[in-house]
Structure 1
Amino acid sequence: MTPTTSDPLPVPTALLPGGSIPLLGIGTWLSEGDDCYRAVRHALDVGYRHVDTATGYGNESQVGRALAESAVDRADVFVTTKLPPDAAGRERETLEASLRDLGTDYVDLWLIHWPPNKEASPWVWERFVELRNEGKVRSIGVSNYAVEQVDILSEQVGETPAVNQIPWSPADHDAQVAEQLGKRGVVLEGYSPFKRTDLDHPVLAEIGAAHDATPAQVVVRWHIDHGYVVIPKSVTPARIEENADVTRFSLSADELARIDTIGG
């Protein structure tokens, strides 16, 4: 059967040193085997152009199979993977294994998944810069780093991470963290957007009703309208489509402010 696909979702992007990252992607944490393949393939078919995986997820080969069998050109998909903290010191071989499994000669974004030994580890960041400069990676960043740790990398290596991927949701919202990352030119990428947010919260229900949207869709749109990257994970086709169906509405400044206060 000939692969089919729809047009890219009309979502905004953020500019990184190596290209533009769509503010909405498909997350694959805890997606395994054929479930992961089918989820990524369906996401691409319905217009997603951003896929997030990691060496530690154990599913890069399934993501690679979906990329290969989709009708979407590899160059049109933003692919992120991550270095596990216990692979510090084996950066090159870990990245090369990721590239083999993903079936690509570069990734768009490579992140240090967690601070190795809970420390900023600028010596690992130096290897990231080196491999980026060789063309194996388009942009480099970190995940689960404190702002102070981001500063250590910038100060000691002379290059600021392009992205910090952290747990983020209305319940996690911290205006100071967002502001501090923004001042440094670091794109905030949020994961687990629904995990700690009460989707039965009356504010989400009320705003959702005003836009004929579910509370989960309001949460996704909240990220996008703030300029945050969001990567909701699902292996359910209907949920993947629901998470994508947020381009038909936007939130007002007042609605954003009300949602900001959910975390207290």
Structure 2
Amino acid sequence: MDRAQPFIKKCILVKSFTDPSKPIDEKRLLDTLLLQPTDGGLSRHLKKRKANLLKVDGSSMQVKHDNYRNINKNSKVALRAFINGARMAAAQAKKIASDKKLKTRKELNDYLREHHLDIYNSLPRYEQYEPMYTDLWCKYMQELLDLGDGKAKAKPTEQAALQKLSMADYNGCLLNVSKSRNTNMVGVGGIVLWDAQKSFVVVCKGRLVDTLKLLPKKGSVFTFEVPVEGSDPLPYSIIGDRFNYRSADRAGRKFKSRCCDDLLYYIDDDTL
């Protein structure tokens, strides 16, 4: 259909132009209609097929599993069961060591393997998670801060480093509590197994038994170091009150400089 259609000027162009004939006279628009055959639903079929392919290969971050809610719920249940089981096993192992007067780690491990294999298998082991820090997290942070592999590179500027550190992943980091409102937490440190929204789940090295501990972020300051080959490690501190976000949410969050009057108690040691 390519003949002139008067309703184009009378019903459409008259609403946008004082002179509806002007765009047609200037040959910017045509007063004809061109009807084309449809694709028979081909475009809709291709869009649906593309969405299915994205679900298969996972190339789209916006596509979720069909069973996402159950997977997320089950993962939380499994994590909670692992933490409770490990802490209970560590408490039982300490009680056995006290009752049997076992003084060394080797004596305790030998006794548990022989008489309490289930407790021995449930114990957290610091050396099992140590490669998370040495092989994964340290290299990840060196690459994130452009420190290079032993090459002489300039240290990152303070502002650039802080922005990257605020969005970094701390699973595998070796954290220590330097200040806290809870004085019993000061000096506690270990490898982060899970960076939760309001706490760090860490594995701590002990004299007889390694333990899992939950370090609340609120009211605490954490310190860590980024090793640099051929130079002193770079020390940094984390204010826990500003990290009350999940690691996934923090990665897309832009932290801004603002008033920190609520953090003045960190400066005065008497208030801790």
Q: Same fold (TM over 0.5)?
A: no
TM-score if structure 1 supplies the norm length?
Answer: 0.23
Relative contact order (C-alpha < 8 Å, sep 6+): which is higher?
1
Largest Rg, 1 or 2: 2
